[in-house]
Structure formats: C-alpha cells, structure tokens
Structure 1
Amino acid sequence: MGTLINGLFGGFHGRVGNLVGYTLKGKYVLRTIGKSNKPLTPARKANCQGMTVVNEILKPSLQAIRVGFRLAVAGTDKNEYNEAVSYNKKNALQGAYPNISLDYSKVLLSMGNLPVALNPSISQAAEKITFNWEVTDSWASEYASDRAMVVIYFPDIQKAFHQLIGAKRIEGKDVVTISSEHINERMEAYISFVKDDGRRISNSVHAGSLNAVSPVTTEAESEGEIKNQEVITVLDSVCETVQKTETRDSSGSLSGLHKYEHPDVINDPNKDSKERTARPGS
C-alpha cells in the first residue's frame, strides 16, 4: 500500500501495483517493478556475485560509510552507500565468477582529500586492538587535530566494529576494545582521518589483518569440484531472484543490478554520529 504525501499531486511512499515510491535526499523517486526475460549471461552472473561480495563488508559498516562518503556525494542525488558500492565494485574485487572475492587492501570505506594515515599498522592484546601510524613534522599544525575513524571487519562472521571519533592524528596511535567473543576472529582493519570540524575527510587505508589463516588445500580434487558447483548453483539462484525484481526508474534506466539502496540510507541519508564511543555493527 502506498501513502500519499501532500495530497493527490504529491509524492507517495510504498508500493502501488508495479510502482514503488520513496524519498531520497528530499526528492520523490518513482520506480516500476518488472520481470526481466533476459538470459543470465556470464557477465550478469559476475555482476551479481560482485554486488553480493561488496555488500558483505559495506552493510555492517554502514555507520562508517555514512560518514566516510558523505562529502563525496554532497550536492548530488547520490547516497553514501551507493557511492561506496560503486567504487568498491570497480576497484576492490578480484578473481572471476564464480570465485570473485574482495582484495581487502583495496577496499575504501571513506573518500576525501585529507592526507591519509601514513604507514598504519595494527596489533592485538586480547580485546585491545591498537592502531599505529607515523606522525610527521609537516602535520604538526594543520592536521594535528584530525580525528581517527577506525573500522574492524570480521569476514568470517560478516560483522564490523567502528569508532567514528577517535584519537588525534598527532597522537600516533589509537586503542579500541572489541568484544571478547571476537578476539580470535579474522580481522581486516581500516583507518581514516576526519577534520575536527567534520568538513574534510581522508581516504581510508587498510591498516592490516589479524588472525588471518592461509587457505586450506583440499586433498580430494573431486570434493573441491563438488563444493565449487554448489557455490555456482547458489549464486545462480540468487541472480535469478535479483533478475526477477529488477526495477526501472522514471527515466526507464535499469537499476536492479546496479544500485543497492540500503533502507537506512534512504530514510536518513545525512545521519551522522558524533559519539566517540566505539560501537559494533550489526
């Protein structure tokens, strides 16, 4: 059911028949839902898997994405999440379908023109995760008060931990505390800097990995082939589902496989957090 906004001639939220309406950055967006009869070509399957892989790290990192890409989309109709998806699909994927995966060293969780963290690294002591970076004399005045924003992603459980307002750049390190349940999980860590007035931000930098385990080679080749075929079957099923729900916007352009609009971003695209307390992502 759709809800009329501002009467008959206003926009509406919800679904009426094949029409879906919602508000994005103060503008009413209207799309149609249709069924595509196009075949699932290798390129479409690769695109579908690429979207799935990218969303695995971006969805639990949503709060950091809102802050990290806010300035990159300022003054446009784009939202932070879509911009992050677009960049990482183009730059952070590796491999070919059905074995597409993330190159964690190339993932970007913030985008801006502040100087990035110089030679960052991480270390662990139980629940304490320490981020270190180099401090140079050239930063002593202009960038000394920049605040660190850190994200720790746990690939095996697809959860993320973030601290949006951390230590000052001049301090050279920041220490965060993660849940004791996650101390042995694999971690991929990222750090960026935000101007103390929030008007500038740096690109994020991959600070390192913790508890990473080398891939195990299966002795039985046939078993590996069976597992690979199972993955292909699951991915094909997902792609078919996405294909059936492709949408077209008011201009007629295809959007179903190219945009992912997280509901929270649509409802509150400019929401930002000013808390220093680190919070785990869902």
Structure 2
Amino acid sequence: MATFKDGANGSFNGKVGSVVGYQWRGINVMRSLPKKSKKPRSEKQLANERRMKLAMSFLSPITTVIRLGYQQATEGLPMTPFNMALSYHKKQAIGGSYPELYFDYSKAKISIGPLASAESLAAEWTGDGLSFSWDGSSDNLLMKEQNTIIVLHLEATKGWDIRTSGIQRGAGHYLFPLPSNLIGKEIHAYVAFNEILSDRMSDSRYIHVPAVG
C-alpha cells in the first residue's frame, strides 16, 4: 500500500502498480519496479555481478569505517558514502578477467580525503602483535593530534580487527595486540587519519604483512 503526501498530486511512499515511491536523503523519488528477464545473462552482466560480490565481501564487514571514511567525499552528492566506496572498489580494486576475477587488496581504500596520508608506513611482528610505525613528526599541532584508524584483514580467518580511536598521529607508532594463534599470519592492513572534530580524512595507505615462520 502507498501513502500520499501533500494530496493526490504530491509524493507517495510505497508501491502503486508498476512504480514505487520513497524518500532518499530528503528527496522524493519514484522509480519503476524491475522486470524479470527471461534472456540468459551476458558475460558482461555476469562479470559485473562478480565484481559486485567481491567488492561487497570486502566492504560489508567494515561498513562503519567505510561510512566515516567516505563521508566528506559525498557531501553535496546524490549518493551515500557506502555506495561511493562500492563504485570505487568495483572499478579499481578488482583484478583479472572474467571468470578469473579477484579482489586486489593493494588497491582498496578504507577512506579518501584531503589530509596528508601516512608516510614511512611500516609494520613488523613482535611477540605480542603487529607493531606499526609511521612518520609522526610535524610542526603542525593539529596534524599531530589527528586520530589514527587502523584496519586489519586477517587472511587466516577471513576476519577483521579495527582500531578507530585512541591513537594520535603524532605518536608515530602503535602495537596492535593479537592472539598468539594469529601472530605471524598474513595480514592486509590499512592506516588512515581523520580530524576529531570534522569529517576530514586522509586517503588510507595499504601495507601487506606476509606470513612468517
């Protein structure tokens, strides 16, 4: 059932016949309902579906981080932060040719923005976890006080571990504690910075930590 707003000539929410009306970001939207096709899907369509699935498998577990990381980039645009990230990763972070497509972790970005990205980023294993370091020196106090975001994708478990607060950029290092069964395993890591009192972000930087031992 559809509900009208502002009378019969106004907007509506819900389905009426072959169209559906709804509000998105305060805008009244109406679109046609999709029609099922009996035609077999083309290779191009199948490749697009595979790209979508690969991008979603990376983004969905870290939705909260992605919304923060792409928030400023979508200001004034008719798209959500997550949709912008999805579009980027479908186009830029998928390698290979269909049907041999794969997700390229080195091309992924958990954030985009105008702040300076991490310089001299490095990571090494210790007995307690993964020790990150970056250039934290700066004459700019506001820059040194920027927040550091670290996201780990754990290849062994296909799981994630995230730190979004409590690490100042000016510290220049952070020991990311991990359980003993994950120490020395392969990890894909992303480091980004954001200003505490604004949506301003840096482009994230990627670092691959190979398995050891």
Quickly name the TM-score band, shorter chain normalised. 0.7 to 0.9
**Mapped pair 1:162 → 2:146:** no
More strand by share: 2
The corresponding residue for 2:98 is 97
Equivalent-residue separation in structure 1 for 2:67 and 2:178 (angstroms): 21
Structure 2: state its 5+ residue gaps: none
Q: Which amino acid aligns with 1:46?
A: A
The corresponding residue for 2:66 is 65
Shift of residue 184, structure 1, vs aligned partner: 6.8
The corresponding residue for 2:141 is 141
Q: Which amino acid aligns with 2:54?
A: V
The corresponding residue for 1:23 is 23
TM-score, normalised by the number of residues in structure 2:
0.83
Structure 1 pair 7–178 and aligned structure 2 pair: CA distance change class (3 A): farther
Structure 1, residues 149-208: CA drift from partner, whole Å, max 9, x if none? 111123565432222224111100123345667557642110100012223110111122
Shift of residue 127, structure 1, vs aligned partner: 6.2
Structure 1 pair 128–18 and aligned structure 2 pair: CA distance change class (3 A): farther
Equivalent-residue separation in structure 2 for 1:61 and 1:179 (angstroms): 20
Equivalent-residue separation in structure 2 for 1:45 and 1:158 (angstroms): 25
Q: Which amino acid aligns with 2:74?
A: V
**Mapped pair 1:207 → 2:204:** no
Equivalent-residue separation in structure 1 for 2:179 and 2:62 (angstroms): 16
70-79 vs 24-33, which deviates more?
A: 24-33
Which protein has greater RCO, CA pairs closer than 8 Å, 6+ apart?
1
Equivalent-residue separation in structure 2 for 1:58 and 1:116 (angstroms): 21
Structure 1 pair 19–116 and aligned structure 2 pair: CA distance change class (3 A): same
The corresponding residue for 2:114 is 113
Percent of counterpart pairs with the same letter?
26
Q: Which amino acid aligns with 1:26?
A: G
The corresponding residue for 1:196 is 196
Shift of residue 117, structure 1, vs aligned partner: 0.7
Equivalent-residue separation in structure 1 for 2:130 and 2:26 (angstroms): 40
Structure 1: state its 5+ residue gaps: 214-282
**Mapped pair 1:54 → 2:40:** no
Equivalent-residue separation in structure 2 for 1:104 and 1:209 (angstroms): 12
CA contact (8 A) 2:184 2:212 kept: no
The corresponding residue for 1:4 is 3
**Mapped pair 1:83 → 2:122:** no
Structure 1 pair 30–147 and aligned structure 2 pair: CA distance change class (3 A): same
Shift of residue 115, structure 1, vs aligned partner: 0.4
Shift of residue 112, structure 1, vs aligned partner: 0.3
Shift of residue 75, structure 1, vs aligned partner: 1.4
Equivalent-residue separation in structure 2 for 1:208 and 1:117 (angstroms): 15
Instruction: Indicate the RMSD between aligned Cα atoms, in angstroms.
Output: 2.9
Equivalent-residue separation in structure 1 for 2:20 and 2:53 (angstroms): 23
Equivalent-residue separation in structure 1 for 2:146 and 2:130 (angstroms): 20
